[in-house]
Amino acid sequence: MKNIDPIPHSRPTLGAEEAKAAAETILSGQIAQGAMVGKFEKRFADFLGLQQAVAVNSGTSALHLALLALGTRPGDEVIVPDYVCTALLNAVHYTGATPVIADVGAADGNLDCQAALRLITPKTRAVIVPHMFGNPCAGITLFKEREIPVIEDCAQSVGAELAGSKVGTLGDLSIFSFYATKVMTCGEGGMVASNCQELTNAVADLCDYDNRDDYLPRYNYKMTDFQAAMGLVQLTRLPDFIHRRREIAHRYNAGLKDLPLRLPGAQPDQQPIYFRYVVQLANPETLLNHLRNHKISAARPVFKPFQLLTGTNAVTDHGASPQGLNNHGISGHRVPQVAASGTAMRTFAREPNRSPQDVVPCDRLPNACSVSLQLWHESLSLPIYPLLQDAEVDRVIAAIRDYYQKISDT
């Protein structure tokens, strides 16, 4: 075991082309936002087949500006899934609006859109629909009928398709992240895209504060030209990245299909890009440790569901079980509203004995976010990225098979 190389959980796919593009931009002297960003925005919009895209410095900034472009303000509610990274909660809090948390579907961890529909009130300003782990969220079209603005969160799914349509073209606005471990990367970065010019103009206006005739609180969320130079190269390589991710997923499927693990699946109209290869099993922590002993890094695909992070659910993360939710389960619920600075959130998070009135549940059906909790307890993300070699995939498969062999031997 000593001499084998570790297999990391994720790695960016960067090479000489990205290095050359970034170096040329740096040496040109134009490193802040300039023509390269404009070119990246145009190419990205063309890739999606949308009118306009606006580059920003992160996926979180993209979410924040998308919410502001829709007019989100204190007093509004924004529906978000429970099982996703905290960037969504942060972005909603930055606007002063109240996040309303909905459960997710067991099949793929995407927002349970039917559950989200039940949380709509006259205060609902928008719903944020992430396509989790590279798998398109099939229910996204349901919100159109209710005329609820949809922000499509494609941070994990650039290039995935639903019924022949690219993700990013199904909502009113879509956002992307180019963080280091995402499907394509500029180190950090993001994009907001839409066919509605009024919305993209609002985003473009808000992400740069300089040289304005009026005063409005604006943000310095700009992408730099050398990030855009990398992004342009990554965009041309994206089809190869996706092809390789699918090859690896098929290799895992073939190597693991007879084991007592639930493998990621997709409906015929979903074309996932396998940002993550998430398996479900009763005790992921033991498999994670077993893989670690084989120098393989696996991870929980979502650090913690919002209900555990915000304490809106009485269940603790220590030994909580989905069954345990029966006593305390809170359905879609509002997490406490905080000042735009986020100060209240920090205080709240440090307060172990927060009082129940800090949290205003909006719907007390038992077990309503239980799927999220169950997924959190049972999911494990295996290494998947274009640089992963077939021999490494086979090593992961062999280590998992060894784990189950040992279980059956005992």
Ligand X SMILES: Cc1ncc(COP(=O)(O)O)c(C=O)c1O
The residues that touch ligand X, with contacts defined as CB under 6 A, are: 58-60, 84-85, 87, 130, 153, 155-156, 177, 179, 190
DSSP 34: S
Shortest distance, position 57 Cβ to ligand X, whole Å: 8
Which residue's CB is nearer to ligand X, number 91 or number 308? 91
Find the shortest distance in angstroms from Cβ 352 to ligand X: 27
Q: Residue 259 is encoded by which pair of tokens?
A: 């084991």
Furthest CA-CA distance within the chain: 75
Alpha helices in 164-262 (DSSP H): 197-206, 225-256
From CA 104, how far away is CA 83, in angstroms rounded?
7
> What is the distance between the alpha carbons of residues 85 and 257, in angstroms, rounded to a whole number?
29
Quick one: 179 or 348, whose CB is closer to ligand X?
A: 179
Could you tell me how far CA 220 lies from the centroid of its own chain? 23
Least distance (Å) between residue 37 CB and ligand X: 16
User: Residue 221 or 403: which CB sits closer to ligand X?
Assistant: 221
Find the shortest distance in angstroms from Cβ 182 to ligand X: 7
Rounded to 5 degrees, what angle do the CA atoms 62, 65, 69 make? 135
Taking the least distance from each CB to ligand X, the nearer of 47 and 179 is: 179
3-state helix, strand, coil in the chain (%, to 5): 40, 15, 45
Contact (Cβ atoms closer than 8 angstroms) between residue 284 and residue 379: yes
Task: Give the C-alpha separation, 131 to 299, whole Å.
Answer: 19
Which CB, 62 or 388, lies closer to ligand X?
62
Catalytic residue (one of 39, 182, 257, 295): 182
| Residue with smallest beta-carbon separation from ligand X | 59
**Minimum distance from residue 92 beta carbon to ligand X (Å):** 12
Distance between CA atoms of residues 14 and 336, nearest Å: 41
- Show the tokens assigned to 204: 């473009």
Strands (E), 169-313: 173-177, 190-194, 270-271, 277-280
231 - beta bridge partners? none
Closest distance of CB 91 from ligand X, Å = 8
Instruction: Tell me if 73 sits within 8 A of 96, measured CB to CB.
Output: yes
Q: Nearer Cβ to ligand X, position 143 or 176? A: 176
| Whether the Cβ atoms of residue 210 and residue 9 lie closer than 8 Å to each other | no
The least distance separating ligand X from the CB of residue 153, rounded to whole angstroms, comes to 5
Token pair of 390 as six digits: 């077939």
From CA 256, how far away is CA 398, in angstroms rounded?
9
Q: For residue 227, which phi and psi values (nearest 5 degrees)?
A: -70, -45
Q: Which is nearer to ligand X, 174 or 271 (CB)?
A: 174
SS3 344: helix
The least distance separating ligand X from the CB of residue 372, rounded to whole angstroms, comes to 14
182 assigned to active site: yes
Q: And the tokens for 349?
A: 């998070």
Kindly report the backbone phi and psi dihedral angles of residue 16, in degrees, each rounded to the nearest multiple of 5, phi listed first: -60, -35
Closer to ligand X by Cβ: residue 36 or 84: 84
Rounded CA-CA distance 17/83 in Å is 36
Residue 115 CB neighbour total at 10 angstroms = 24
Catalytic residue ranges: 182
